[in-house]
Chains A and B, each alone.
Chain A
Amino acid sequence: MTVLPYLVAGWIFLIGVYGLVTSRDLIHAVGCLAVTQSSTYVLLLAVGYRNGGTAPVFADAPTNSRVVDPVVQALALTDIVVGATVTALLLALVVQLRKRHGTVDPDALSELKG
């Protein structure tokens, strides 16, 4: 089944969004966002795979060996770094929310405060 890796990426995306929608805790929601984003890693790496390909690092391998696509791997690296920093920023926001409003339940945060 050659479409399975792509479908797995879609499933990870949907399960992450499901967690976001039903979340009752902002820390949990940030975790779900990280899961949602990790679907893009799976999709990128699935697109870049070549049958029988090795890692695109030629320190030991001969320079004519067949390798998987390095461009999407570099994109996945970018994706991971950005995802990690954004997660940190969101968690910092949650820490402040907890301090100012006393709750991390998104449903309890409906009122505006001036």
Chain B
Amino acid sequence: MSSRVRLWVFLVGAAGFAALFAAACFDLPAFGTVPHPYGVRAVHAALSHHTANVIASVNFDLRAFDTLGEESILFSAVIGTVVLLRQARDEHRKDPEPATVHPPVRRFALLTLPFALLVGLYVIAHGQVSPGGGFQGGVVTATALHLLYIAADYRALERVRPLTLYEIGEAAGEAAYVITGFAAVLAGSAFLTNVLPFGTLATLSSGGTAMVLNAAVGLEVTSGIVVLLARFLDQAVEIEDPGEDDGSPRHTGGGGGNGDDEREPA
């Protein structure tokens, strides 16, 4: 199909969609005014389980089984990426070269690194109390580690990031979620029922199993994102193409390094 025909097919489809969608929108209850029966019940259920963050309660308590599926999507996507971006038989690995990094950039990254790490861990730990949780905090924590790549270079990052440990961490996070679910079965309830004591509202130890599942997800997301980024960085920095490379700038991506990375922050 030529691109002109494709565009026309799109335009016809888009016009149809726009008409039907707009008609549906004008039939929807007005913005901001509708009663929310499920929302009201979710708030009630979360408060009865002493979980201040209702979204965490929905994810890790009321819909904990769905979150297991969601976590598995994350888990399998990371595995898929690891398999896709492995070193092929005809490729070879070269050591990343040190490159210069501007002192202000390095200072900024080194200064931000501990705070970013702390914020990430804080967001994971307070998932059941304040906005955030394992998914959000995990991404912050994993990204914070990569400030080291900006501050020093890839070799410094590789030294503080034993990849095997993070691969185990990812599997452990997924396993901890399932084990918590079966622990509820052993305690005489259904899979993933909240069987732990609920604690006091708005304290760190509140929420029962929501707290445990939140930590498991935090571990998995942190490890998963680190493994994911490591595979992409490997492709950009370490793994070389077999044969010719027709002028694509894939080897210039290995910047952010300096020769004298004698210290290891973090």
Contacts and interface: CB of A to CB of B under 8 A. Distances in A.
Nearest to B59: A74
Contacts of B6: 21-22
In the A-B complex, list the 3 residue pairs whose CB atoms are closest, starting with the nearest: A69-B39, A85-B77, A70-B54
A57 B30 contact: no
Contacts of B38: 69, 71
B47 interface: yes
A86 B81 CA distance: 10
A56 B31 contact: no
Contacts of A77: 55, 59, 135-136
Contacts of A80: 135
B116 interface: no
Contacts of B77: 85-86, 88-89
A50 to B, nearest CB: 6
A89 B74 CA distance: 10
Nearest to B136: A77
Contacts of B70: 78, 81-82
A13 B38 CA distance: 26
Interface string A1-32: 01111110010011001100110000000000
Contacts of B46: 56, 58, 70
A63 to B, nearest CB: 6
B130 interface: yes
Interface of A: 2-7, 10, 13-14, 17-18, 21-22, 46-51, 53, 55-60, 63, 67-74, 77-78, 80-82, 84-86, 88-89, 91-93, 95-96, 98-99, 102, 107
The secondary structure that dominates the B interface is helix
Contact of B66 (A47, A59, A78, A86): A78
A67 B63 CA distance: 19
B115 interface: no
Interface string B15-30: 0011001100110101
Interface in B74-112: 74, 77-78, 80-81, 84-85, 88
Nearest to B244: A102
11 contacts: A2-B33, A3-B28, A14-B17, A21-B10, A56-B55, A57-B53, A70-B39, A70-B55, A78-B66, A85-B228, A99-B88
A33 B109 CA distance: 31
A88 B232 CA distance: 9
Contacts of A81: 70, 73-74, 135, 221
Contacts of A56: 39, 42-43, 46, 53-55
Contacts of A102: 246
Interface string B44-74: 0011000011110111000100110010011
B22 A10 contact: yes
